[in-house]
Amino acid sequence: MDPAEQLAAFKTTLSSSPEGWTTLLKTKDGIISGFIKLDTVAKEATLYMDLDDETLTTPSKSKFSMQTTQVTNPTLSFEEGSQLDSLEKAGVDKEFAYQYSKGDTIMLLGNRYSNELKLIKASAPTALVFTSGQMAGIKSNISDYLYSTVYMVLKKDAATTTQISINPISKAYTSNSLNTTKGIKFSTSDYTYTSRGIYFRNPILINDKAVYEVLWDAQGEKLYVEIDGARLDIQLSDIPVIAPQYLLGTVGYFQYSLGSPYFIDLPGWSPAFTELWLTADDGLYESGFNLYSVEFNMNDADKTMDLKVYFYNLSLTSVYQGTYRYSYTKSANGTFKFTQLPTNTETNTGGNADYISAEMQPITDLIQTGSYTLNYYDTATGALGQFKSVETPSIYFTGIFGSYSE
């Protein structure tokens, strides 16, 4: 087909949705939904985008053009005045070349930054959601719901549990999906609000299923997904539902940190463990330092751990890191056993670890002595992880999933 015929076919395709098009713009940094109405007579584009409440309720109006050349597919170009203007410096395209059509969907690709623009034929009710200003209210209702939740849970079947956390401030989610035979899968992505609910840039992985949308039930005020044509409601939980031994050492849960009771008030420490910590701290103090935090940096794939010790000089003006190496095993019931490996004193952090090895011995010896279970310890501000010695039940301590020092 010659360029003129391609352009004519492109114009016909863009005119085939009288109510307009819902849009999904995928950039290198995120995804933005919206709605567009193209007036092919006046060559005017009316565009709503999920940038903020104003851009969802007050559309931009700008001229647009369609053209083609011998070397490019037919291209849709937005001129000055569209909501895309505010995104141009962030590497967002304003010219999009036709790629293909499938059913009610048109795929376009940005000519400069290769942003993907998906156009989906809009129904009259969907168009009305935008043109009547309802979209901001839908977004507000969903975000209010998200603010009130801690963990969201999907039970696909008896063997599969998915734990989801969605942050309405950063517009991002993390999820862990555990299958008792296939193991655990981690996924994370940003998202955008749509008239249907939430659409993810990258899907939630529920074992063998990729889920791009979480749908909003406005009447029931709840979220749900559709898998293989069946509705699956999302349940709520104040604490994590996937046991921590499955998570620690996986993506998103590499770090587990303990903070000094002099700086950080962590509940769930036994008197026996607190005494060991303070013994190490006192030894460091005699050497001119304060013990600040100890971090278990774990890798479940190769069952290794860097035990990172962060300590300050007494004036708190300089921080140092010492790193001890361990291997570990994890039993089927989630019991950990650690074995200390030689310290690499050729590195700065290894040298620091060797320098304070005598002072830290109460902690380092404890870690490789015996075995430990790991469970959640619930607090008013969220769940901590609590290790407990199997052989010496009077030894237990809590930490956060994350780092105090990085």
pLDDT of residue 298: 95
- Number of domains observed in the structure of the chain: 3
pLDDT at 132 over 70: yes
Domain identity same for 269 and 296: yes
Domain identity same for 270 and 326: yes
pLDDT at 2 over 90: no
22: nearest Cα among 68, 54, 56: 56
CB-neighbour burial class of residue 126 (10 A; exposed 0-12, middle 13-18, buried 19+)? buried
If you count DSSP H runs as helices and E runs as strands, how many of each does the chain have, helices first?
Answer: 8, 25
Cα 316 to Cα 114, 261, 263, 313, 345: the distances in Å are: 48, 16, 12, 5, 25
Cα 76 to Cα 20, 49, 70, 195: the distances in Å are: 15, 17, 16, 24
- Range of the structural domain that residue 90 is part of: 3-131
242: nearest Cα among 376, 98, 95: 376
State the pLDDT confidence band at 1, using cuts at 50, 70 and 90. low
Domain identity same for 216 and 272: no
The domain boundary, picked from 104, 131, 158, lies at: 131
Domain identity same for 180 and 217: yes
pLDDT at 71 over 70: no
Domain identity same for 153 and 291: no
Residue 320 domain flag: yes
State the pLDDT confidence band at 143, using cuts at 50, 70 and 90. very high
Domain identity same for 310 and 388: yes
Mean pLDDT of all residues in 187-197: 95
Answer for the pair 366, 294: CB distance below 8 angstroms, yes or no.
no
Q: What is the mean pLDDT of the chain?
A: 93
Token pair listed for 308: 């990172």
Residue 84 domain flag: yes
Per mean pLDDT, which range of 44-58, 71-85, 356-370 is the poorest? 71-85
pLDDT of residue 313: 94
Mean pLDDT of all residues in 366-375: 95
Residue 141 domain flag: yes
pLDDT at 70 over 80: no
State the pLDDT confidence band at 156, using cuts at 50, 70 and 90. confident
Mean pLDDT of all residues in 80-93: 90
- List, as one string, the DSSP characters of 58-80: S-EEEEEEEE--SSS--EEEE-T
pLDDT of residue 153: 95
Residue 246 domain flag: no
Share of the chain above pLDDT 90, in %: 79
Mean pLDDT of all residues in 355-370: 96
Residue 248 domain flag: no
The domain boundary, picked from 100, 131, 162, lies at: 131
- List, as one string, the DSSP characters of 225-262: EEETTEEEEPEEESS--S-HHHHTTSTT--EEEEE-TT
Domain identity same for 305 and 375: yes
Mean pLDDT of all residues in 24-44: 95
Residue 315 domain flag: yes
Q: Which residues contact 353 (CB under 8 A, 6 or more apart)?
A: 309, 322, 323, 324, 343, 345, 360
Domain identity same for 266 and 225: no
Domain identity same for 265 and 392: yes
Q: What is the pLDDT of residues 293-315, one digit of tens each?
A: 999 999 998 999 999 999 999 98
pLDDT at 374 over 80: yes
Q: What are the start-end ranges of the H helices in 264-377?
A: 271-286, 348-355, 357-367
State the pLDDT confidence band at 180, using cuts at 50, 70 and 90. confident
Q: Assign residue 22 the CATH number of its domain.
A: 2.40.128
Cα 196 to Cα 291: distance, rounded to the nearest angstrom: 51
Mean pLDDT of all residues in 179-196: 91
pLDDT of residue 253: 80
Cα 89 to Cα 69: distance, rounded to the nearest angstrom: 26
Token pair listed for 237: 């939980």
Share of the chain above pLDDT 70, in %: 99
Residue 247 domain flag: no
Domain identity same for 15 and 89: yes
Domain identity same for 70 and 140: no
The domain boundary, picked from 66, 96, 131, lies at: 131
Per mean pLDDT, which range of 68-72, 144-148, 208-212, 388-392 is the poorest? 68-72
pLDDT of residue 183: 84
Domain identity same for 10 and 43: yes
pLDDT of residue 269: 98
Q: What is the pLDDT of residues 252-288, one digit of tens each?
A: 788 999 999 999 989 999 999 999 999 999 999 999 9
Residue 356 domain flag: yes
pLDDT at 162 over 90: yes
